Amino acid sequence: MPLSDYVAVRDRIVNGVSRIDTRVLAGRYRLLNPLSEGGSGTVWLAADETLGRDVAVKEIRLPPDLDPVRRQETYAAALREANLAARLKHPSIVTVHDVIIEQERPWLVMERLSGASLEQTVRNRRPLPVHQAARVGVGILSALAATHAAGMVHRDVQPGNVFLTRTGRAVLTDFGLAVVDGEVTSGRTGHLVDAPNYAAPERLRGERGTPASDLWSLGATLYFAVEGLPPHPAATPIAAISRVLTEPARQPERAGALGPLLMLMLDPLPEARPSFETVARALEELAAGRTATTPPPASTPAPAPAPVPAAAPHRPQPAPALRPLLQPRGAALWAAVEVAVVAVVIGATMGVVHLSADRTVVEKPAALSEKPGAFATPVDLCKLLPVASVQRLLPALNDEGKPTSNGGCRWTVSGLGLEVRPSGLNKQWGKSPRQAHELFVNERNNAIPSGQLAWSWSDIQAGARSARSTGPLPVAPVGNEAFGYDVYENRKTGRLEQSFVVLRVDNLVVDVGYTVVDGSEDGPSIRAGAHTAATWIANALNKQKAGG
């Protein structure tokens, strides 16, 4: 097509007057028509009048009231993306030709791709067949290998950043969140939840991210390609964060022979994910229409330690329990003192990071009193929950709670149990709210195990069980500050078995856990049980504190 045909291709009606859009950037790139629009800007088809070729120009849209500092940071990020992408030459990585600052905004000049993103393709048509999704995976995995070999981690692999050309090539785009080895990333934590459905659990916990994190994101992206939805479907970004952090991926229904590989790539533990070489071989087999051998897990779980006595199981991560509580048939509940405001607990030793749909805010805790707290002596935890309340969680319960040797209390029936226990080195209180907060922080940062463990509880017919736990996770607000953690069955099923909430009220710190041992309840119901019990305890403590 002659270059003259590119000029003035778009008529616009502005205030009733027709005009031709002939914007030219840097005296060279003539903007033609938009290719796609998003919250952060527009990608334009443009004509490079110097070289006589089509290009794509990414316009970074800045809010008009953006302060000068943030504006400069955005300019720097655009330059950084161009510099990173320019280092990489690979057929499955989009080529960036130029970057321009004009009209008070950044513009990235990129290779013109003809086709649509994976997200658009699946949403506008239907999920891809397995062999085609595997072919996409081969290309993007190769692109990621090249990225990692250059000392970078992409950190934003998602369906919207995978482009499918009309020639069948899969291209990885948008290096705006990529990091180079040794680079400081603290100034970009706000991007953490841009696409939480496709961010690895460790990324959502505030960690930097590694090649294994990109592998998880690729697994989630290919899952979307064949299933038409992410592996942790959720209605809101916050709900997605919670589900990625606290639940195993939804079992795929359409993935066929690709399904087992995807579930391995989506393992919540980075070290348990298969190697790039193993995934590449499996994807190549599937892309060729052959049945791939499912690779074994990256590592074999360590032999289970000796069974934990019939006391409380070890703890990991809870999620905001926001759906109605279901009546459990095979459950056990635990509890201990400590409460928070949280959205997600990551980050600084004495700080809490709140993740919202559009921003991340690091908040220092309010000044806490050094004076003696409201609870000067140990609290009788057995009296906090009457049997009538506990029966809402454990319907067959008839007896009162039984005290334990460490100051907690336990309710049990066949297959079910509830326990309230002190949290943190067999202490449930500090002399002051400040000391209790320090105990809470120590529990959150140091005392919650992550990895393989064994537990048992003979009173509820839970024999020695192999499980894995995760670290601190978000819970809905309860008490003064709180976090949660979960315990999952071994990786054969990945079923959630126990959910815990650690909370603080004034100078008390408590652990609350709810357990279903027969598989009769799903993860959200188990987490709802733990959160419900923690709320009861926090309310009872606050009433006692107020003299009620």
Select, from the ranges 131-135, 153-157, 323-327, 539-543, the one with the highest average predicted confidence (pLDDT).
Answer: 131-135
Q: Are residues 338 and 401 in the same domain?
A: yes
Confidence of residue 256 (pLDDT cuts 50, 70, 90): very high
Predicted confidence at residue 533, as pLDDT, reads 92
Single-letter amino acid, residue 120: Q
Q: Are residues 91 and 129 in the same domain?
A: no
Q: Looking at residues 85-97, what average pLDDT do you find?
A: 80
Helix (H, G, I), strand (E, B) or coil at 20: strand
Q: Are residues 176 and 251 in the same domain?
A: yes
What is the rounded CA–CA span in Å between residue 189 and residue 191?
Answer: 5
Residue 317 lies in a domain: no
Q: Are residues 275 and 367 in the same domain?
A: no
What is the domain count for the chain? 3
Predicted confidence at residue 360, as pLDDT, reads 28
What is the rounded CA–CA span in Å between residue 170 and residue 90?
Answer: 11
Q: Are residues 99 and 146 in the same domain?
A: no
Select, from the ranges 210-214, 414-418, 463-467, the one with the highest average predicted confidence (pLDDT).
Answer: 210-214
Q: What's the gap between Cα 250 and its chain centre? A: 14
Residue 302 lies in a domain: no
Residue 279 lies in a domain: yes
Q: Are residues 168 and 195 in the same domain?
A: yes
DSSP string, 327-342: --SSEEEEEEE--B--
Q: Which of 257, 287, 317 is the last residue of a domain?
A: 287
Confidence of residue 158 (pLDDT cuts 50, 70, 90): very high
Dihedral sign from CA coordinates of 528, 533, 539, 541: negative
Residue 315 lies in a domain: no
Q: Print the SS3 string covering 217-283.
A: HHHHHHHHHHHCCCCCCCCCHHHHHHHHHHCCCCCCCCCHHHHHHHHHHCCCCHHHCCCHHHHHHHH
388, HSE (Cβ side, Cα atoms, 13 Å):
0
Residue 11 lies in a domain: yes
Q: Which domain holds residue 195?
A: 115-287
Q: Which of 61, 93, 111 is the last residue of a domain?
A: 111
What is the rounded CA–CA span in Å between residue 394 and residue 401?
Answer: 12
Confidence of residue 167 (pLDDT cuts 50, 70, 90): confident
Q: Which of 258, 287, 316 is the last residue of a domain?
A: 287
Integer angstrom CA distances of residue 347 from 203, 355, 364: 12, 12, 11
Single-letter amino acid, residue 226: V
339 contacts 503 by C-beta, under 8 angstroms = yes
Q: Are residues 407 and 428 in the same domain?
A: yes
At 18-40, the pLDDT tens digits run 333 458 998 999 999 888 776 56
Integer angstrom CA distances of residue 500 from 46, 165, 384, 512: 55, 47, 17, 5
Q: Looking at residues 94-113, what average pLDDT do you find?
A: 82
Residue 307 lies in a domain: no
Q: Are residues 28 and 69 in the same domain?
A: yes
Predicted confidence at residue 55, as pLDDT, reads 92
Q: Are residues 277 and 151 in the same domain?
A: yes
Q: Are residues 51 and 180 in the same domain?
A: no
Predicted confidence at residue 231, as pLDDT, reads 96
What CATH number is attached to the domain comprising 153?
A: 1.10.510.10
For residues 18 and 273, which has the higher predicted lDDT (pLDDT)?
A: 273
**Alpha helices for 10-117 (secondary structure H):** 68-87
Q: Are residues 66 and 145 in the same domain?
A: no
At 318-366, the pLDDT tens digits run 333 323 333 333 344 433 322 222 222 222 222 233 333 332 233 334 5
335 contacts 537 by C-beta, under 8 angstroms = yes
Average pLDDT of the chain, as a whole number: 75
Instruction: Sort strands 115-117 and 11-14 into parallel, antiparallel or unpaired.
Output: unpaired
What CATH number is attached to the domain comprising 54?
A: 3.30.200.20
Active site residues: 156
Q: Are residues 98 and 149 in the same domain?
A: no
Predicted confidence at residue 253, as pLDDT, reads 93
Residue 319 lies in a domain: no
Those residues whose C-beta lies under 8 Å from the C-beta of residue 423, and which sit 6 or more positions away, are: 336, 337, 338, 439, 440, 443, 502, 509, 510, 511
Residue 345 lies in a domain: yes
Dihedral sign from CA coordinates of 343, 344, 345, 350: negative
